[in-house]
């Protein structure tokens, strides 16, 4: 149906507001404000968590200037611990004024040779800014490539969301860094503690198979993280004036507020001239908001069958500098573009892990481009394991088609959740959490995995920690896992 010049602008403005609100609510991000601020009311110790994400707002009438002030990062924390490190958080739990503002800040202090051990943040990218001293900062990509830099005073290093990383003091003097995040509560998945200090424990058989070592090495590593004292951060003083209570604080998005305001301004100036202006506002606002969502690219048409550059192709060398994939011309799209037979046949599990994964993502199934979903097949031999890994860009559903499979993940609090699944049963793994599937039956097992991303990404714990290219320095790993270099060299030899 064509849009005519007689259409009233008012309904289109209402549509603009409604669509923006819906789109904002679907963004995988922190809660967005619909007011200037929402100073959080922290949850009291032992109080049941409210049945909604985030925190309620302190009444505006009770908010004072000190609510926006935080002195918790002013003093250095103690580095007298096995890691030679101290972390002081400035997140929404410590600094309630950050609620709905989408930022957090920490202080990291490192003694000479100290390390902020390998970890990831499932909900945020990170900027590491060195204030004093020197720090070796590095992360490992989902392709297993290790990126690092010795960062000096006043210099900054960026770490993408969900990737394993660390900070290490290679100098002879103490070092201090400020770390900032694009989330009010980034979450932390500490590699060593999540793998070897989870409560309850991840079974030895899963870990031994995942890291290709015998049970004695696993028991040694577990002994180091029964009560590690890390990464529990040093207590930071909360902001003042946070005792008032309120039942709830809901909202859909700051982008919604800003763009709606823009729409109203455009409407006021253009209403008398043309009723097509709100359509332009709607299109522009949708584009801006979609581009700010930390999520898969949003469709602006029914489909966008990907043109995936292939290695060695001339097209690959000329791949345009934008995220995602370009679209195949609609005139050349056929029914087979939406069909994928790659999961129909079992894959070979004759390898040291006894598993294989067949992925149907936007690279292998181009019809998924912009659709925000993907699917995979995991085949497991008896005793086989899909080794410990995480997906930085997606939540995962694990559905058992045949056999019996132990599925489990470790939360940012170090708690291990697991279940033995039978045929037709399903288990969900939150985005960015370290997890696995292990065949506990006497016959082959088949699992279908589904994701809310066209490209979930994979951070495989073993290869990421011990098989990156170039290698993570032995000193960083030995300090992170609290073992001597011989154990690190043994683990590296497996990957």
C-alpha–C-alpha distance, residues 308 and 326, integer Å = 8
- 227 marked ligand binding residue: no
- Contact, 28 vs 295, CB < 8 A? yes
Contacts (Cβ under 8 Å, ≥6 apart) of 76: 86, 107, 109, 174, 176
- 121 marked ligand binding residue: yes
- Contact, 82 vs 231, CB < 8 A? no
Closest CA to 191 of 228, 160, 245, 159: 228
Q: Strand 189-190 and strand 135-140: pairing?
A: unpaired
Closest CA to 106 of 127, 120, 79, 123: 127
**Residues 467, 470, 472, 473, CA torsion sign:** positive
Closest CA to 414 of 427, 433, 394: 433
- 386 marked ligand binding residue: no
Closest CA to 408 of 218, 224, 201: 201
- Contact, 149 vs 142, CB < 8 A? no
Cα–Cα distances in Å, from 147 out to 77, 178, 371, 469? 28, 20, 31, 9
- 369 marked ligand binding residue: no
- 363 marked ligand binding residue: no
| Residues forming a β-bridge with 355 | 380
Closest CA to 240 of 11, 421, 69, 433: 69
Burial class (CB in 10 A: 0-12, 13-18, 19+), 363: middle
C-alpha–C-alpha distance, residues 381 and 442, integer Å = 9
- 119 marked ligand binding residue: yes
C-alpha–C-alpha distance, residues 81 and 168, integer Å = 15
Per residue, what are the HEC states of 188-224?
CEEHHHHHHCCECCCCHHHHHHHHCCCHHHHHHHHHH
DSSP for residue 254: H
- Contact, 382 vs 442, CB < 8 A? yes
Contacts (Cβ under 8 Å, ≥6 apart) of 197: 222, 225, 226, 228, 414
Q: Strand 135-140 and strand 164-168: pairing?
A: antiparallel
- Contact, 96 vs 55, CB < 8 A? yes
Q: Strand 405-410 and strand 459-460: pairing?
A: unpaired
C-alpha–C-alpha distance, residues 77 and 450, integer Å = 43
Tokens of 67: 């609510």
Residue stretches of the annotated binding site for Mn(2+): 119, 121, 126, 165
Residue stretches of the annotated binding site for oxalate: 106, 116, 121, 126
Residue stretches of the annotated binding site: 106, 116, 119, 121, 126, 165
């Amino acid at each position: 149906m064509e849009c005519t010049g007689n259409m009233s602008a008012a309904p289109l403005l209402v549509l603009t507001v409604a669509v923006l609100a819906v789109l904002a609510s679907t963004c995988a991000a922190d809660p967005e404000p619909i007011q200037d601020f929402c100073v959080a009311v922290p949850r009291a110790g032992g109080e049941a968590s409210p049945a909604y994400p985030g925190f309620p707002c302190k009444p505006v009438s009770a908010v004072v200037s000190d609510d926006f002030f935080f002195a918790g990062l002013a003093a250095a924390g103690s580095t007298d611990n096995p890691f030679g490190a101290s972390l002081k958080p400035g997140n929404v739990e410590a600094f309630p004024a950050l609620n709905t503002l989408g930022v957090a800040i920490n202080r990291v202090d490192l003694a000479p040779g100290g390390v902020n051990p390998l970890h990831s943040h499932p909900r945020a990218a990170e900027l590491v800014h060195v204030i004093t001293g020197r720090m070796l900062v590095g992360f490992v990509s989902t392709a297993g490539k290790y990126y690092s830099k010795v960062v000096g005073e006043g210099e900054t290093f960026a770490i993408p969301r969900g990737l394993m990383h660390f900070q290490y003091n290679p100098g002879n003097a103490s070092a201090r860094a400020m770390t900032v995040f694009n989330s009010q509560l980034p979450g932390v998945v500490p590699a060593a503690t999540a793998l070897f200090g989870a409560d309850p424990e991840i079974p030895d058989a899963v870990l031994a198979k995942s890291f290709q070592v015998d049970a004695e090495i696993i028991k040694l590593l577990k002994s180091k993280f029964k009560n590690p004292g890390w990464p529990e951060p040093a207590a930071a003083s909360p902001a003042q004036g946070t005792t008032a209570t309120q039942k709830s604080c809901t909202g859909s998005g700051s982008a919604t507020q800003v763009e709606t305001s823009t729409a109203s301004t455009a409407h006021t100036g253009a209403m008398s001239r043309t009723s097509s202006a709100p359509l332009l506002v709607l299109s522009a606002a949708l584009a801006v908001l979609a581009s700010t969502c930390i999520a898969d690219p949003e469709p602006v048409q029914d489909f966008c069958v990907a043109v995936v550059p292939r290695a060695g192709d001339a097209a690959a060398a000329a791949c345009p500098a934008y995220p995602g994939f370009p679209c195949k011309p609609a005139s050349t799209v056929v029914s087979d573009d939406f069909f994928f037979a790659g999961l129909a046949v079992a894959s070979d599990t004759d390898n040291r892990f006894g598993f294989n994964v067949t992925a149907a993502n936007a690279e292998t199934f181009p019809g998924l481009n912009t659709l925000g979903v993907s699917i995979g097949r995991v085949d497991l031999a008896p005793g086989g394991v899909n080794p410990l890994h995480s997906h930085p860009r997606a939540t995962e559903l694990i559905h058992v088609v045949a056999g019996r499979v132990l599925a489990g993940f470790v939360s940012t609090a170090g708690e291990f959740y697991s279940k033995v699944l039978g045929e037709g049963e399903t288990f969900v793994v939150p985005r960015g959490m370290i997890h696995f599937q292990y065949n506990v039956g006497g016959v082959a097992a088949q699992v279908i995995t589904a994701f809310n991303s066209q490209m979930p990404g994979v951070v495989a714990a073993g290869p990421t920690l011990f098989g990156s290219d170039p290698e993570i320095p032995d000193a960083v790993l030995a300090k992170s896992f609290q073992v001597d270099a011989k154990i690190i060299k043994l683990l590296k030899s497996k990957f």
